């Protein structure tokens, strides 16, 4: 019996001992990057596609206030651009689904469901936006959808609701008809968007 105990003890000690010895060995990790390759005259050449890097002339601010305004614009773009992109995606999906419905009655029912869903989904998000972020969002929707917010509401919900929402926006000094102008008024905004989308800002 003692002999069996000794064998079990020795085997156990060897297992524990060998595992502790292995644990002390230096572990080397090899980082590998899998890339595409092309073959040229029998040689395999790694092919790495680099992302485009946008380079602009440095901005020169006249004063501290102008720099603060620019930093605020960067913050506002980062907050509102994802919402504008989500709205664009929802519009595309809604339009594609409406095309599959057999008649106007079914389409109107679906639009009411979408409107209700949008209110539930976006109202808490919209309440957190500042006034300037709301005005920026209207322009970014035009940028993403190639149509003003007014035209989108009119197309999906009719001219009456479009007019109602436009009047409501006007009470706060905003306009659903506001268009995005990357060449003039929104030139700096377009620069910020390009850098944000590319992960450079």
Q: Is residue 104 part of a domain?
A: yes
Listed range (11-25, 66-80, 93-107) with the worst mean pLDDT: 11-25
Q: What pLDDT band is residue 15 in, cutting at 50, 70 and 90?
A: very low
> What is the pLDDT averaged over residues 53-73?
90
d(CA 176, CA 153): 9
More confident residue, 18 or 182: 182
Q: What pLDDT band is residue 68 in, cutting at 50, 70 and 90?
A: very high
Listed in sequence order, the residues at least 6 apart from 195 whose beta carbon sits closer than 8 Å to its beta carbon are 54, 56, 201
> What is the pLDDT averaged over residues 47-53?
80
> What is the pLDDT averaged over residues 20-26?
49
In this prediction the pTM is 0.69
Q: Is residue 113 part of a domain?
A: yes
> What is the pLDDT averaged over residues 81-87?
89
Q: Is residue 58 part of a domain?
A: no
Amino acid 164: pLDDT: 75
**Residue 25 pLDDT > 80, yes or no?**
no
**Residue 111 pLDDT > 50, yes or no?**
yes
What's the pLDDT tens digit per position in 137-181? 888 988 988 888 878 777 777 787 778 777 877 776 777 878 888
> What integer best gives the mean pLDDT of the chain?
78
Q: What pLDDT band is residue 10 in, cutting at 50, 70 and 90?
A: very low
**Structural domains of the chain, count:** 1
**Residue 9 pLDDT > 60, yes or no?**
no
Among candidate residues 94, 80, 90, 89, the one with its CA nearest the CA of residue 180: 80
Q: Is residue 181 part of a domain?
A: yes
Q: Which domain holds residue 144?
A: 64-197
Q: Is residue 55 part of a domain?
A: no
End-to-end CA distance of the chain: 74
d(CA 152, CA 147): 7
Q: What pLDDT band is residue 196 in, cutting at 50, 70 and 90?
A: very high
């Amino acid at each position: 019996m003692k002999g069996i105990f000794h064998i079990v003890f020795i085997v156990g000690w060897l297992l524990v001992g060998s595992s502790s010895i292995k644990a002390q060995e230096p572990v080397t990790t090899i980082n590998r990057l899998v890339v595409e390759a092309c073959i040229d005259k029998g040689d395999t050449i790694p092919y790495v596609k680099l992302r485009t890097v946008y380079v602009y002339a440095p901005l020169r601010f006249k004063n501290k206030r102008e720099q603060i305004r620019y930093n605020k614009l960067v913050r506002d773009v980062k907050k509102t651009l994802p919402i504008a992109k989500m709205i664009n995606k929802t519009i595309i999906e809604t339009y594609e689904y409406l095309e599959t419905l057999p008649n106007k009655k079914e389409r109107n029912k679906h639009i009411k469901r979408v409107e209700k869903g949008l209110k539930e989904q976006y109202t808490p998000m919209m309440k957190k936006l500042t006034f300037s972020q709301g005005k920026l969002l209207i322009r970014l929707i035009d940028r993403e959808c190639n149509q003003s917010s007014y035209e989108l509401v009119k197309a999906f919900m009719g001219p009456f609701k479009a007019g109602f929402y436009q009047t409501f926006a006007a009470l706060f000094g905003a306009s659903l008809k506001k268009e995005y102008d990357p060449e003039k008024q929104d030139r700096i905004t377009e620069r910020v968007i390009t850098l944000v989308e590319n992960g450079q800002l």
